[in-house]
């Protein structure tokens, strides 16, 4: 069974995100686009556009051409956005790399992406040399270019490569086109707004939740407020402080984990600043997480979508009626209906459509595939006989459609996990652990406590005897981004197996 929405006026508009940003700069040139904490001033749309010119000119001088990949390893702020916009003005491809990533991870991403230029701050210049030409903001003069090459990307060209956890033990780069990116941004803006108040920017550019937090408000002429950049999902105290103030909030995008953390921060019934729209995405959303926000925000939405479907591909309004529905007390809230021109197909093990099955997505928001991984791309993006001519992405998620036709998330077909909104392949953690001296085997699981836990056995060697949980954590932190380092590490004598001789992950999920 297929779920889709028909075309509406304006849906065939092929503008790209840099085109939408240019419209904002022309419409509201002197309005603040990006600001820091109150009193720290801000950068106007005109200033942001001119700084993008500077970056485009500097990248052109370094020989950057259409479809070349440019790694941007800058902290949150206007400079990072201007660098990305400058890439796009040349038709180049933006590759966000979180400066908080360990050196091992950064080198891996730079090598895999083949970035010819690495944009970074002066503190990171030394560690990133060798991964391409290094370009720092202080080497990019302000408004020095007399002319800026404006090649501009076509809608079918790649916009960015975003790396996700990989089942092979290595991250994989998802290639997203300008058509897919612009389609999401336009329709998210129509549904979520973002043109009023300030929209908090609290997550890394390497996490596609940030597309909603940053690029959607900027195409609506809104103001993006930069919160402290001290980790992959940071600034909780600053975010709570902003919400506790009087300044109106425009678009607030959060994972349910962060939503629940804020619920612990504010007392039940305690009011916040006026909020136009809250969007939860990246994890299952439960009624208990969402309920307090109905009194704080004009609108609340639950959004669903893997990175391969460009941020989010379905959305569901969260209403008092939904929260009162008995079906939503124990199971996650519905993930709703697809964005316009997207379709969701529920396919059984024989690829036949029905009311329950694997969630498969088609439409303009599909990514092009995985960078340098043709076999994995072919396995996840393709066609089935029951839907001739329709290119699908197989999410690996299971879903069902309730009697009202609303989509619901049921679970996973495989061992993939979600933690703090990030998609995690246990194999990547396990591979990193096995590369450490003294480690024999590793199994990473989602524990019943809600923690990400890794159980590790020692090698029968001197290194194994010397292995400690602290040493294991340090070794993983040197190889993996913070969101992949388990909350708890446990050295065990052995790993349980099931009747098929495989690691019994269910038993580990309950182990204390």
In a domain? residue 160? no
Same domain flag for 393 and 473: no
**pLDDT confidence of residue 8:** 36
Domain of 64: which CATH number?
A: 3.40.50.980
106-132 exposure pattern, b = at least 16 Cβ within 10 A, e = fewer = bebbbebbbbbbbbbbeebbeebeebb
Return the closest-CA partner of residue 346 out of 408, 404, 302.
408
Per-residue pLDDT of the chain (512 residues; tens, 9 = 90+): 454 443 333 333 458 999 999 999 999 999 999 998 655 679 999 999 999 999 999 999 999 999 999 999 999 999 999 999 999 999 999 999 999 999 999 999 999 999 999 999 999 998 887 667 999 999 999 876 566 666 778 899 999 999 987 766 788 999 999 999 999 999 999 999 999 999 999 988 998 999 999 999 999 999 999 998 654 445 788 899 999 999 999 999 998 878 888 988 898 888 899 999 999 998 888 888 899 999 999 999 999 999 999 999 999 999 998 888 777 776 889 999 999 999 999 999 889 999 999 999 999 999 999 999 999 999 999 999 999 999 999 999 999 998 888 899 987 776 677 777 677 778 788 878 888 999 988 888 887 777 889 999 898 888 888 899 999 999 999 988 888 899 999 898 888 866 545 677 778 877 76
Gap between the Cα atoms of 192 and 456, Å rounded: 44
Of 115, 149, 183, the one marking the end of a domain is: 149
Give the domain range for residue 133: 17-149
On whether both 398 and 437 belong to a single domain, the answer is: no
Query: CB burial class (10 A; 0-12, 13-18, 19+) of residue 493?
Result: exposed
Encoded tokens for 163: 């790396």
Q: In whole angstroms, what is the distance from residue 382 CA to residue 466 CA?
A: 48
Is 358 within a domain?
yes
Is the same domain home to 134 and 79? yes
For the entire predicted model, the pTM comes to 0.84
State whether 44 and 80 are in the same domain. Answer: yes
Query: Based on the structure, what is the number of domains in the chain?
Result: 3
Helix (H) or strand (E) holding 105: helix 103-113
Tokens 């299971």 correspond to what residue? 398
Q: Any idea of the CA torsion for 62, 64, 70, 76, to the nearest 10 degrees?
A: 70
> Are residues 116 and 39 part of one domain?
yes
Residues 475 and 433: their CA atoms lie apart, in Å, by: 8
Would you say 459 and 439 are in contact if contact means Cβ atoms under 8 Å apart?
A: yes
Contacts of 411 (CB under 8 A, 6+ apart): 397, 398
From 117, 149, 181, the end of a domain falls on 149
Q: Are residues 408 and 431 located together in one domain of the fold?
A: no
Which among 390, 412, 434 is the end of a domain?
Answer: 412
Which single residue is written with the structure tokens 């979520």?
192
CA distance 418 to 428: 13
Same domain, 364 and 394: yes
In a domain, 52, yes or no: yes
d(CA 32, CA 53): 18
CATH (domain of 357)? 2.30.38.10
- How many Å is the Cα radius of gyration of the chain? 23
Judge if 391 and 348 occupy the same domain: yes
Please answer whether residues 65 and 98 qualify as being in contact, where contact means their C-beta atoms are separated by less than 8 angstroms: no
Helix, coil or strand: residue 310:
coil
Distance CA 216, CA 210 (A): 9
CA 331 to CA 253: how far, in whole Å? Answer: 22
Indicate if the alpha-carbon torsion angle 279, 281, 287, 288 is positive or negative: negative
Q: What is the dihedral of CA 79, 182, 4, 210, to 10 degrees?
A: 0
Which neighbouring-strand residues pair with 278?
252, 300
Q: How many CB atoms lie within 10 A of CB 452?
A: 24
Residues 375, 437: one domain?
A: no
What CATH number should be reported for the domain holding residue 442?
Answer: 3.30.300.30
Any domain includes 274: no
Beta bridge partner(s), residue 353: 347
Helix (H) or strand (E) holding 191: helix 178-192
Edge-to-edge order in the sheet of strand 93-96 = 133-135, 117-120, 69-73, 93-96, 158-164, 172-177, 369-370
Same domain flag for 475 and 502: yes
pLDDT at 4: 44
Q: Are residues 406 and 438 in the same domain?
A: no
Residues 460 and 372 in one domain: no
In a domain, 72, yes or no: yes
Query: Using CA atoms, how far apart are residues 102 and 252, in angstroms rounded to an integer?
Result: 29
Phi-psi region of 254 (alpha: psi -120 to 50; beta: other; left: phi over 0): beta
**Is 226 domain-assigned?**
no
Query: Could you tell me which of 203, 293, 300, 301 has the C-alpha nearest to residue 243?
Result: 293
* Two tokens, residue 344: 């969701």
In a domain, 379, yes or no: yes
For residue 186, the number of C-alpha atoms closer than 13 Å in the C-beta half-sphere is 25
* Tokens read off for 321: 């009626």
Q: Of 198, 249, 254, 188, which is closest to residue 221 (Cα–Cα)?
A: 198
| CA distances for 316 relative to 223, 362, 393, angstroms | 25, 18, 21
Whether 48 maps to a domain, the answer reads yes
Q: Is 257:232 a contact under the CB 8 Å cutoff?
A: no
């Amino acid at each position: 069974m297929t779920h889709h929405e028909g075309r509406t006026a304006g849906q065939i508009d092929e503008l790209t995100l840099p085109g939408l940003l240019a419209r904002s700069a022309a419409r509201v040139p002197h309005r603040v686009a990006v600001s820091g904490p109150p009193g720290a001033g801000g950068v106007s749309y005109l200033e942001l556009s001119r700084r993008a010119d500077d970056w485009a000119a500097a990248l052109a001088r370094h020989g950057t051409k259409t479809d070349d990949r440019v790694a941007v390893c800058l902290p949150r702020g206007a400079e990072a956005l201007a660098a990305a916009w400058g890439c796009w003005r040349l038709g180049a491809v933006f590759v966000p790399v979180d400066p908080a990533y360990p050196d091992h991870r950064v080198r891996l991403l730079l090598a895999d992406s083949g970035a010819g230029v690495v944009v970074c701050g002066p503190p990171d210049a030394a560690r990133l040399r060798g991964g391409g030409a290094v370009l720092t903001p202080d080497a990019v003069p302000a408004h020095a270019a007399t002319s800026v090459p404006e090649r501009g990307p076509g809608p079918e060209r790649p916009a960015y490569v975003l790396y996700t956890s990989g089942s092979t033990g290595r991250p994989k780069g998802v290639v997203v086109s300008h058509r897919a990116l612009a389609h999401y941004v336009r329709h998210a803006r129509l549904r979520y707004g973002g043109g009023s108040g300030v929209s908090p920017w609290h997550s890394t550019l390497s996490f596609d939740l940030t597309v909603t937090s940053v690029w959607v408000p900027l195409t609506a002429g809104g103001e993006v407020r930069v919160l402290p950049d001290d980790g992959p999902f940071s600034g909780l105290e600053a975010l709570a402080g902003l919400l506790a103030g009087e300044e109106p909030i425009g678009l607030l995008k959060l994972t349910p984990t962060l939503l629940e953390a804020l619920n612990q921060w504010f007392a039940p019934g305690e009011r916040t600043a006026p909020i136009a729209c809250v969007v939860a995405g990246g994890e299952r959303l439960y009624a208990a997480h969402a309920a307090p926000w109905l009194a704080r925000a004009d609108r609340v939405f639950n959004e669903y979508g893997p990175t391969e479907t460009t941020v989010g591909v379905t959305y569901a309004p969260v209403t008092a009626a939904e929260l009162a529905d008995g079906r939503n007390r124990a199971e996650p809230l519905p993930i709703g209906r697809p964005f316009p021109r997207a379709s969701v197909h529920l396919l059984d093990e024989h690829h036949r459509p029905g009311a329950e099955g694997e969630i498969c997505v088609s439409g303009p928001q599909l990514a092009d595939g995985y960078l340098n991984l043709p076999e994995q791309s072919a396995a996840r993006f393709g066609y089935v006989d029951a839907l001739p001519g329709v290119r699908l992405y197989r999410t690996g998620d299971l879903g069902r459609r309730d009697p009202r036709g609303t989509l619901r998330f049921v679970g996973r077909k495989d061992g993939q996990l979600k933690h703090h909104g990030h998609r995690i392949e246990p194999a990547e953690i396990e591979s990193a652990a096995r590369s450490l001296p003294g480690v024999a085997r590793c199994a990473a699981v989602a524990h019943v406590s809600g923690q990400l836990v890794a159980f590790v056995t020692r090698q029968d060697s001197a290194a194994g005897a010397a292995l400690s949980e602290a040493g294991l954590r340090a070794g993983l932190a040197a190889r993996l981004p913070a969101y992949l380092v388990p909350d708890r590490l446990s050295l065990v004598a052995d790993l349980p197996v099931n009747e098929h001789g495989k690691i019994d992950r269910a038993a580990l999920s309950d182990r204390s």
